[in-house]
Amino acid sequence: MSNELLLSPPAAFVMIMLAAVFGAYVLSKLALKPKKIPAGLTKEYSCGEDIKTHMIQPDYTQFFPFAFYFTILHVVALMIATVPMATMQSFLIAVVYILGAIVGLFVLYKR
């Protein structure tokens, strides 16, 4: 009974978490620490520029179409791989799904 308790997922999670916390504590005591913290160590710095004057705003307009394209194609591949070929009805559902994905990709890249 006690063996099964130790092998249960919650008990294993707690044991691994305790081991990780203990390991982090031990390694933090062994880590090298500066005797005096330099003035610029805690100052924000990015690529040779002070970032207090402006914030960088990344542009994701080109990323999202590729992310949607990737998602749609992977869902279609999953649909093709998992549809049972035993009945004609399931095959027709897969074909309709694939055609819908093709139409969706044309709408996505309509520009």
Per-residue pLDDT tens over the stretch 96-109: 888 888 888 788 77
* Rounded distance between C-alpha atoms, residue 108 and residue 73, angstroms: 12
Q: Which amino acid is at 83?
A: V
Domain boundaries, the chain: 1-33, 56-111
Q: Using a pLDDT cut of 70, give the percent of the chain over it.
A: 84
Gap between the Cα atoms of 90 and 101, Å rounded:
17
Planar angle of CA 31, 37, 32, nearest 5 degrees:
10
Chain centroid offset of residue 93 CA: 30
Q: pLDDT of 64-89, one tens digit each?
A: 878 888 888 888 888 778 877 677 77
